Amino acid sequence: MLLQTRQFGTACPWVRLTPASKRNSSVSLRRSNCGPKCSVSQLELKSESESKTKPYPAEASRTIMELAKVGTLCTLTQEGLPLGTGVRFAVDPEHGTPLFCFNSTDNTNIPSSLHVQFEQFGLRTPQCTIQGTLTKPQDPKRLVSVWRKRFGEEVDQDFIYIIAVDRVLQLEDIQEDGIWVTSSDYKNAQPDPLRDSAHNLVTEINTNNMEDITRFCNVYVDLDFLVSEAKMLWVDRLGFDMRLSSPHKGVFDVRIPFPREVTDEKGAKSTFNCMSQLAWEVERNFQHPDFSKVKELKPVKSPFL
């Protein structure tokens, strides 16, 4: 079903957008010829208005864990060397604890990490790395049903293992700054409510509403150049991320927040339609742009749009 973008007229309320704020990074990852370097600083608390433009890193990590089904589990060998292997995992919905099924009963109390990433249309790869201890759960019987729901398989509860989460490193994309998330923040966060419908919604918009998303960049973002091409990268309860390009300026990512939080696919479509209508009217001088434009553009190193 196509999204409707010309049927709201004067019934469409004004959309008031606040500028996207800069990220506060508690871990800076800088890649050089010597490999990654990490410097840890105090994570500043974001204000109420800032929190309404994009999900917190803890929420983003919980969403990645819900969407992905495979990752790289890393432990230490007897020689003390790190060894990573690909594994399937499920997630305890209560606290986001990753769980595994191993045909062994010897893997207990092992310092481990699980690296998980989720590719978004080949353009961006959000990821998180969970650090903790590989151990046996206290309630394996309940977790058997979690595994069954995710993979449709019956497993022996004696083969269920978990990683007791100590902390989580969340990155928005490859070669970008990362943020450490505490165990309590990760466990208390909730995955995004649009996560199961986001892929289809973004595909539909990029296929059927190309003029609208290009107009979004020219109307809702404070630019000194015209956008030649744009694509939506992802959508969540607070807004959507877009990648835009200009022949003379390069490629950028930009975050456009929703005027209000949405809780489901229907709400996201309705909000997108309303923002499309307003952008169309502003572009044709039918309406005055009574909203604050997004000012933050993030240059993208990758040449792919």
Q: How do residues 103-148 score in pLDDT, each as one tens digit?
A: 876 667 899 999 999 999 989 999 999 999 999 999 999 999 999 9
Show the domain range for 254.
197-299
pLDDT at 15: 31
- State the pLDDT at residue 17: 28
CA distance linking residue 95 with residue 190, whole number of Å: 9
Query: Is 18 part of any domain?
Result: no
CATH number at residue 231: 3.20.180.10
Asked if 206 and 160 sit in the same domain, the reply is: no
Asked whether residue 177 falls in the same domain as residue 96, the answer is: yes
User: Quick one: 62 and 166 in the same domain?
Assistant: yes
Residue 84's CATH number: 2.30.110.10
Same domain, 203 and 236: yes
Same domain, 126 and 179: yes
How high is the pLDDT of residue 63? 98
pLDDT of residue 6: 35
Query: Cα–Cα distance between 148 and 158 in angstroms, integer?
Result: 15
Which residues, in sequence order, are bridge partners of residue 129? 115, 169
Alpha-carbon dihedral 173, 174, 176, 180, rounded to 10 degrees: 80
Residue 209 sits in the same domain as residue 295 = yes
155, 188, 221 - which closes a domain: 188
Please indicate, yes or no, whether residues 257 and 237 belong to a single structural domain of this protein: yes
Q: Where are the alpha helices (DSSP H) in the chain?
A: 48-51, 57-67, 140-151, 183-188, 198-208, 210-220, 265-283
84 in a structural domain: yes
pTM, two decimal places = 0.80
Amino acid letter for position 249: K
How far is 57 from 211, CA to CA, in rounded Å? 31
HSE, side-chain direction, 13 A CA sphere, residue 225: 13
pLDDT at 9: 33
pLDDT of residue 19: 31
183 and 205 co-located in one domain: no
Given 188, 217, 234, the domain boundary residue is 188
Within this chain, do residues 62 and 148 fall inside the same structural domain, yes or no?
Answer: yes
- 63 is a domain residue: yes
List of the chain residues with pLDDT < 50: 1-50
Structural domains in the chain (count): 2
Q: Look at residue 103 in the predicted model and tell me its pLDDT.
A: 86
Domain boundary among 156, 188, 220: 188
Same domain, 61 and 162: yes
Same domain, 120 and 202: no
On whether both 204 and 285 belong to a single domain, the answer is yes
Cβ atoms of residues 178 and 29 within 8 Å = yes
